[in-house]
Amino acid sequence: MGIIWDLDGTLYNFYLPAKISLHVTWEYGWYNDYVKKQECYHFFEQSHGEYVWELRFWEQLYKSTQKNYGQETTINAMADIINKAWYINNNPNSKSNAYELGKLWWKTFFENLSPEPWVLPLLRKLFKHGIPMGLLSNSPREMGKLKLKHLGLEDFFNEENTIWTVDTGYFKPDKYPFLLMSEILNCQTNQVLVVGDNYKTDALGAQNAGMTYFLYKGDNFGELLKRLKAFWR
């Protein structure tokens, strides 16, 4: 039996470092006049406990991830998100302010990135018991590798057992990368458990490939542990 892990939202909480990045980037852009202030004063109004500038960012990020099958954004894509959300002043004689803010966003993100508390102890235990494991992610390769490095997961997921779906030409929930990973793990599809946080990409992808799945919600690790215990009995 084998396990296919999702990365973003499963092995780490994307929104914790993302929210810190959002605040740092907005403050830097506002106080350095990167933002067209005359058009943005209404951004300080609040709705549902968040400022308009926060809501506009999350809206653009959501649109981007939906358009790209849940794939995380690159620096250029993040710059485009910020530019659409905040009315950025761009200097035609230098790198755009939006690009600089995109770089700052990701820099801050990685500085605050950490795995879920249960991840490292659990992966060590599974590794000790010889459970075949692989990582299947819609993140771009280079961005994904940076995440693994900062999360301290390179000992568990390497070139041999990691698939960045962009390299295959088929994004989750297409069954192809799931089937490819089952071959890497040397497991029949009905012997593979897919663990992810996104129903549309992880759960449907598992179903399309004839695999079982566990939908991680951030607060149901106890249920996940019960499912996984069957692997080392």
Domain of 195: which CATH number? Answer: 3.40.50.1000
Residue 215 and residue 193 in one domain: yes
Residue 37 and residue 142 in one domain: no
CB 33 within 8 A of CB 89: yes
Residue 143 and residue 97 in one domain: no
Residue 126 and residue 224 in one domain: yes
Residue 37 and residue 140 in one domain: no
DSSP H or E stretch at residue 215: strand 212-215
CB 149 within 8 A of CB 156: no
| Distance separating alpha carbons of residues 196 and 136, to the nearest angstrom | 10
| Distance separating alpha carbons of residues 163 and 137, to the nearest angstrom | 7
Residue 66 and residue 176 in one domain: no
Q: Record the pTM.
A: 0.89
Phi–psi pair at 38, nearest 5 degrees? -65, -20
Residue 101 and residue 119 in one domain: no
Residue 14 burial (CB count, 10 A): 18
Q: What is the pLDDT of residue 40?
A: 87
Q: What is the pLDDT of residue 95?
A: 67
**Strand-pair partners of 229:** none
Q: Is 185 helix (H, G, I), strand (E, B) or coil?
A: helix
Antiparallel, parallel or unpaired: β 212-215 and 46-47: unpaired
pLDDT tens digits, 20-32:
999 999 999 999 9
Structure tokens at 215: 């939908």
Residue 189 and residue 225 in one domain: yes
Residue 223 and residue 155 in one domain: yes
| Distance separating alpha carbons of residues 204 and 34, to the nearest angstrom | 41
Residue 87 and residue 185 in one domain: no
Instruction: Among 69, 87, 111, identify where a domain stops.
Output: 111
Domain range for 50 is 15-111
Instruction: Among 111, 142, 171, identify where a domain stops.
Output: 111
Q: What is the pLDDT of residue 87?
A: 87
Q: Is 120 helix (H, G, I), strand (E, B) or coil?
A: helix
Total number of domains in the chain: 2
For residue 35, the 8-state DSSP code is: B
Residue 96 and residue 137 in one domain: no
Question: pLDDT of the chain along its 233 residues, tens only?
Answer: 899 999 999 999 999 999 999 999 999 999 999 998 888 889 999 998 999 999 999 999 988 887 766 656 688 889 999 999 998 887 765 568 999 999 999 999 999 999 999 999 999 999 998 999 999 999 888 889 999 999 999 999 999 999 999 999 999 999 999 999 999 999 999 999 999 999 999 999 999 999 999 999 999 999 999 988 876 66
Residue 9 and residue 119 in one domain: yes
Of 139, 134, 176, residue with least CA distance to 158? 134
